[in-house]
Homo-oligomer: A and B are copies of this chain.
């Protein structure tokens, strides 16, 4: 055999192997793909079919099905890796010399985004910039960071994390964490001693945080268990005080803490939230069906699966295992010239910090970094049509990668829909005293991108809402279950006055423990172009001079262009307020104001933890509500790339303290929303959604009101509807 033929044979064998691996992955993850079972979720299926039958607004003429993902190829520099690309990356890694003998666990395998200029210079029709995979792998105690060039089939970067922390947990890690305790005799004895049968046990994998040297140098998961007897809502039935610390690499129990043996397991009664578990109708008058109807279909277009075009907006949208969704290259059409103008290069949830406020043995470590430890995308399950998102939503699937490197499809992870909520875009009615009859009102229609992450007990609903007036609203809704603590108390009259329960008695034997949620958004604003400045518009009281005016005082706005990072570490102050603008100093409006957007704070809460408390060191991004840093490809995750068990030495707080120049540069705005949550009985057994939001709002970006020429609703354009039951 010639050498060339031998090479060809090898090549063919390799391709065969890749195909085999792909098929294997496909079968391995078919259960995930089929998570939505038509026999169970018939509304979803009905809807999906119906929608395909009646609408062809999506430029993918057929909505991609799981099958399509197999053959899908990228159309945009920011399109996520396809199944084919993931498999190619995997095969390259398998041939990468250090991994040939021992293949690592894949903790993350995503598109390595091309450098910004490559994306900015790319135009539709151009060949795509070289495609590459960014990989985080773990093997024998080391976290590997790799870049895999898919065009040259080369590993172009291979580094080992020298700092603290580990990558996001894989599903395999979780499986190990949850199965390991069952091999431990003490664990089994304890469970039985608590009166729980092993068959009724549900355990959850809790990130241990970082609390000093004792738990360093190994990947640990703290397992806590519940009784699911008599309820699907096992979260309300904790086996209090039992915490099993598992080394997920050694696959063994490191420590078992059992401090709550005198605490009863709360009863199952009234805890199940599922519709099948409800016997009585609600105590209210029935609500007739109501829905947002669009008989001519939605107005947005989805080009090649990821590019959204609606009204005056255009942006790229992709699912991400860690951030949930990433909105890129958001551009809005100028209301005067019709030209598309850049607003934001990239926006995403960067990290979540959820500290519980109980310092006792079973609780002190509950200080989660949900994005870096569990992944906001990995935990975002398929959305429920008609309930999670209205009719006429477009659903986007995610392609994620399992620990063995094989791709799988998470269907319906993101939805996109138009929203009319009865709101008013602008209005004016003129008093009849002037003899004029003017009443001009414009309804507000917006476009929403939604995902919902179920990080264990908690559900985070994250909306990106685009308005035609140029405003982007970022909205976070919290629902799901409280993380609760068992207690011997059944009524507050049994609780000694001086006792700090660390929470609220929300039901008999159940304490809803006080906690916070902080969610930080990475917002790479590119107002008209990359070179931007951050401006504080400080509102201050000015005293008038004697005799100057009958007024003693007024409020004045003083603009200050911020030079370096530390001056952009913003703590909001109600009595010393400012506006916070990102402007393009070289782009002036028709009357000479710099083009800009401001961040309009909302959902504000500050972390009260000690700055030197270990969890606060790791999540120092919550020390301020606003931060601005110079753009740096490696600074995307506010809690650090390796958040799991990290000490926080490579996070937003540390980067910003370098105090780099940020004037007239490519800058990134970081906004931290916060929620203090003192639970109440209404949160039991499942929480009514709490919503907060903040806005990115144009300020002198448009020369005038960009929706001045919008049309009002008129009767003849609205649909004629009849009840479906009358069909």
Contact = CB atoms under 8 A, between A and B. Distances in A.
Given A171-B433, A359-B551, A551-B613, 5 more contacts: A285-B309, A381-B439, A574-B574, A682-B705, A685-B708
Contacts of A546: none
A274 B442 CA distance: 10
Contacts of A381: 429, 431-432, 439
B541 A713 contact: no
16 contacts: A178-B433, A285-B301, A289-B713, A292-B293, A359-B551, A386-B714, A428-B480, A467-B688, A507-B704, A555-B609, A557-B678, A571-B575, A575-B608, A577-B608, A681-B702, A720-B722
Interface string A430-461: 11111011111111110010001010110101
Interface string A565-596: 00000011111010100000000111111000
A579 B705 contact: no
A711 B554 contact: no
Interface string A699-724: 11111111111111111111111111
A439 B382 contact: yes
A25 interface: no
Contact of A432 (B35, B282, B704): B35
A31 B613 CA distance: 70
A550 interface: yes
A40 interface: yes
A158 interface: no
A685 B705 contact: yes
A595 to B, nearest CB: 10
A357 B551 CA distance: 10
Nearest to A50: B715
A56 interface: no
Contact of A292 (B296, B420, B444, B481): B420
Contacts of A702: 681-682
Interface string A278-291: 10111111111111
A455 to B, nearest CB: 9
A436 to B, nearest CB: 7
Q: How large is the interface on A (under 10, 10 to 19, 20 to 34, 35 or more residues)?
A: 35 or more
**Shortest 8 CB-CB contacts between residues of A and residues of B:** A492-B592, A421-B421, A359-B549, A387-B441, A284-B312, A211-B550, A719-B721, A553-B610
A43 B541 CA distance: 48
A499 B171 CA distance: 62
A174 B554 CA distance: 28
A275 B426 CA distance: 12
A175 interface: yes
A683 to B, nearest CB: 7
A46 interface: yes
Interface string A191-231: 00000000000100000000110000000000000000000
A680 B699 contact: yes
A68 interface: no
Contact of A610 (B431, B439, B543): B543
A630 interface: no
Nearest to A704: B684
A41 B429 CA distance: 13
Interface stretch (A70-78, A117-125, A240-248, A388-396): A388-396
Given A543-B610, A681-B704, A422 B417 contact: yes
A263 interface: no
A266 to B, nearest CB: 11
A593 B709 contact: no
A248 to B, nearest CB: 14
B427 A459 contact: yes
A530 to B, nearest CB: 23
Contacts of A440: 273-275
A152 interface: no
Interface stretch (A88-96, A329-337, A521-529, A634-642): A329-337
A688 B492 contact: no
B419 A422 contact: yes
A539 B678 contact: yes
A298 B288 contact: yes
Contacts of A434: 202
Among A361, A553, A703, A710, the most chain B Cβ lie within 10 Å of the Cβ of A553
Given A541-B609, A700-B504, A285 B311 contact: yes
Contacts of A284: 311-312, 333, 468
Contact of A554 (B291, B357, B542): B357
B612 A364 contact: no
Interface string A493-536: 10000001010111110000010100000000000000000000
Interface string A130-154: 0000000000000000000000000
Nearest to A703: B681
Given A610-B543, A678-B557, A721-B720, A426 B285 contact: no
A481 B293 CA distance: 32
A424 interface: yes
Contact of A719 (B291, B359, B579, B589): B291
B553 A459 contact: no
Given A507-B704, A605-B574, A283 B719 contact: no
A373 interface: no
B709 A280 contact: yes
A286 B273 contact: no
Interface string A151-173: 00000000000000000000100
A370 interface: no
Contact of A433 (B174, B212, B602): B174
B680 A700 contact: yes
A573 B434 CA distance: 45
A580 to B, nearest CB: 12
Contacts of A661: none
A381 B432 CA distance: 9
A604 interface: yes
Among A310, A556, A616, the most chain B Cβ lie within 10 Å of the Cβ of A556
B422 A387 contact: no
A287 B418 contact: yes
Contacts of A379: 431
A404 interface: no
A103 interface: no
A71 B461 CA distance: 51
A653 interface: no
Nearest to A617: B552
Contacts of A388: 424, 427, 441
A254 interface: no
